[in-house]
Structure 1
Amino acid sequence: MAGRRRSGGWRALLCLPLAGAFSLTALSGCGPVPAPDDPEGRDGRAVQRMLDQRAAAVRERDADAFLATVDRGSAGYLAEQRRVFRQMSAVPLRSWTYRLVRTGGFEPARVGGRSLAAQVELRYRLKGYDTAPVVSAQYLTLARRGGQWYVASDDGVVDGKRGTEQLWDQGTVDVVRGAHSLVLGVGQDRRVLRAVADTADRAVPVLGHVWPQEWAGRVVVEVPASLGRMAALLGASADGYRGIAAVTTGEVGGAGDETPADRVIVNPEAYQVLGDFGRRVVITHETAHVATRTATSASTPLWLSEGFADWVGYRTPGRTPRQIAPSSPTPSPPGTCPPRSRATPTSASAATPTASPAPMNRAGSPAA
């Protein structure tokens, strides 16, 4: 890097007398030297070529080509990448790309020799299900070996956050396809995943009856092995999701490629204690968020987005209001004011689909 700075300074001196001669400047190659964190600089272009090769290897299911982009001097990371590549073999990919956002911005891992911190954007779609890509951040340490860049670590931290963890980072992904759903699970009995797919298949047509705008009509559900694993997928603390049966990831507003794909992520520890009706409410509620994502924005009132999702979730024939909300006060006769309540029901009990308190679902856009 020091050599490059000296070269840049020498070129700047040569170009100074030619400031008014644009054609001579262009012919001589004089001009601004790319900054160290400029993806268009020499290192940036070389890194992007390596990332393109890495992405092509994933799309083509070529393990050897994928591992050829990993630093051989980082034996532990090489073994981990071999395992992760194998664990995602059943995932139906439609696309997979990397984009170098910038170099620098965090302290790279110690790898010996020249290293580079790289902030990378991963975008991928699942075949037959995603109309827009999932977008996630990766903070990579790259090692320079024999004139080439290799990935040596993905443990970088930026602003206190690590890169987004994917389900296949946690174990071998099992895939169950439904009529309107795709369920990806790790550490779960296949019968559990099939039951989730059946529930999602019942939820999607419900939205078709009540939501007037066009949407994909499909939902992707991820079922990790535990609450802790769920929290890792969301980049959050497990304490914040204890007792919550499922969440929906995604960003409000936009359309098409402007809105990243949604995922319904199940908390297996809370979901499994619900009855059939409760599970149906949870999955239908989250599916409502998937269907309405492009019609909502940051200014959409929470009572409206959550209220609509609850309304859709509880649209089950044969259920009375008293069965749905057993702790709610008795409705007052028309034309009269309700009596003043001594206590306000908690959000969990007010929305609990069974008579006894049970874990509830929550939808939203968790911070990456």
Structure 2
Amino acid sequence: MRVRRSGAVRGVAAGLLAAVLTLAGCAAPAPERPATGEIQGLLDRHARALLDRDEAGYLAGLDPALAPAARTEFDRLAKIPLGGWSYRVTGVDRTGEGRATARAELGYRIKGYDSGPATTERVLDLTERDGRWYVTGDRAAEGAPQQLWQQGEVTAATGRRSLVLGVGQSAERLREIATAADRAVPAVGDAWHGNWAGRVVVLVPASIEAMGRLLGGPAASYRGIAAVTTGRTGGGPTAPADRVIVNPDAYAVLGSFGRQLVLTHETTHVATRAQTTGATPVWLSEGFADWVAYRGTERTAAQAAPELHRAVQAGDLPAELPDDRAFAFGSDAEALARAYEGGWLACELIANRWGEAKLAAFYRAVGAHPARDGAVEKALRDVLDTTPEQFTADWRAYLTERLGQGLSGGSGSDGS
């Protein structure tokens, strides 16, 4: 608590007390000078050396015990065409005499692919010796994801519109993914006329467990999910760069159509990222990505939405559009499939009834709203001239129309 003192007597008493403390050698110690600027300078030099491929400079600010691991990381990063690498110190805690722990945001850009950096949080332990700081420990912050190059030797496959980076994957598999990603980019560009890079970076870890570490979550959450796109919604052109992360186990069991569908879906998320905000419901973002992926294919509704098809035929017509909770990873697989399928058919309804341009305008209008509350309602009114109640009724009727007839077109598998 800070106490305001006033009056001459108190002033004299305070002065006498200070004099006594000084004479007795009990003066309060001066606070240690902050190390933030010096640590930031150290990390700036470290980053510059990496970009310049200066190994000696890269190791100069590290404790010798870190040198073997740092050399390995330096060599692995040589396989990645880096266009930027930087640290931003966000906090420093003194942990003892000449010791500190710093928190920093690491940002890196891949040349020719990223308009903004991909970011992650790091925690660094430091020691001061002879007036200079040295890094003695470097680890991911709690909950922060691991990076691909920390999982093993990186192999790269460069496509015309894609860069695929893998660990523990054959060059043939990475080239096949790059080919599919190259097809996905123009398919997305034909459906979404937005300002995006028109290129995609795909990461392929060695296992689903490694995928979980790249995403900072348990592997079980992604079992059966063929790919996930990272990135921060609503950040505009300065938002952290997106990465499509492939689940090698689930992706491997898909046929050529399913693999192409997955990469087109995820590339749509990359393209629409700047217009996808906290106001955008998941049914719209996931439904739009599926709509783009299925657009122009010959899949019937029964084939593309097998779980919802079965539910509708059994008389279990959804009462309302799926809420965000229905899309949670690790939830019931059949319920999750129905949520995706319901979102896709909602977007297909808009494209078929109001037109593809109106669907894109609706997506943008929802994302441009300042909050989730009222976003869909306003866009339905302003763009489609309808209400939530009427749209829900139209969607339910559309499900019946598209899925209520007898089975046609096979089993509905996308893995052919």
**TM-score, structure 2 normalization:** 0.68
> Quick check: which has more Rg, 1 or 2?
2
- Give the Cα separation in 2 of the matches to 1:355 and 1:43: 64
Residue in structure 2 matched with residue 207 of structure 1 by the alignment: 188
Letter in 2 for 1:81: A
* 1:183-198 matched pairs, under 5 angstroms: 183-198=164-179
Residue in 2 aligned with 1:276? 256
Q: Give the Cα–Cα distance (whole angstroms) in 2 for the partners of residues 225 and 205 of structure 1.
A: 28
Query: When the two structures are aligned, how many residues end up with a matched partner?
Result: 308
Note closer, same or farther for the CA distance 1:354–1:69 as it changes in structure 2 (3 Å cut).
farther
Percent identity, aligned pairs only, is 45
Deviation at 1:354, TM superposition (A): 9.0
Q: In the alignment, which residue of structure 1 is the partner of 2:138?
A: 154
- 1:325 corresponds in structure 2 to 305
Shift of the 35–85 alpha-carbon distance from structure 1 to 2, 3 Å rule, reads: farther
Equivalent position of 1:120 in the other structure: 104
State the TM-score, normalized to the length of structure 1.
0.76
- Where 2:83 maps in the other structure, the secondary structure is strand
> In 2, distance between residues paired with 1:119 and 1:154?
10
**Does structure 1 residue 48 correspond to structure 2 residue 49?**
no
Q: Match for 2:82: what amino acid?
A: L
Q: How far off is 1:306 after superposition?
A: 0.7
- Aligned-partner SS, 2:139: coil
Name the SS of the counterpart of 1:153 in structure 2: strand
- 2:373 aligns with none
Moved more, 57-66 or 344-353: 344-353
Does the residue aligned with 1:179 lie in a helix, a strand or coil? coil
**Higher helix content, 1 or 2:** 2
Contact 1:141 1:156 in 2 (8 A): no
What residue ranges of structure 1 are gaps of 5+ in the alignment?
Answer: 1-15, 18-32, 333-337, 360-368
**C-alpha contact 1:182 1:220 (8 A) present in aligned 2:** yes
Q: Taking structure 1 as reference, are residues 330 and 234 closer, same or farther at Cα in structure 2, changes over 3 Å only?
A: closer
Partner of 2:243: 263
Code of the aligned partner of 1:68: A
Q: Quick check: 1:140–1:155 contact (8 Å CA) kept in 2?
A: yes
Does the CA contact (< 8 Å) of 2:311 and 2:317 recur in 1? no
**1:63 match:** 55
Instruction: Provide the rounded CA distance (Å) in 2 between the counterparts of 1:272 and 1:156.
Output: 30
Any idea what the Cα deviations from partners look like across 1:56-110, whole Å, max 9, x if unmatched? 01110111111111112xx2x32111111111111001111111111029x79xx
Task: Say which SS state the counterpart of residue 154 (structure 1) adopts.
Answer: strand
**SS state of the match for residue 208, structure 1?**
helix
Return the alpha-carbon distance in structure 1 between the equivalents of residues 163 and 233 of structure 2.
Answer: 22
CA RMSD, Structure 1 to Structure 2 (Å): 3.0
Cα displacement (A) at 1:221: 0.4
Q: Distance in 2 between matches of 1:268 and 1:64?
A: 36
* Distance in 2 separating the partners of 1:278 and 1:354: 15
Aligned match for 1:302, one of 274, 278, 282: 282
Matched, 1:129 2:113: yes
User: What does the per-residue CA deviation read over 1:95-136, in whole Å, with 9 as the maximum and x for residues that have no partner?
Assistant: 11111111029x79xxxx732100011111100110111111
**Matched letter for residue 178 of structure 1:** G
Amino acid at match of 2:274: T
Amino acid at match of 1:57: A
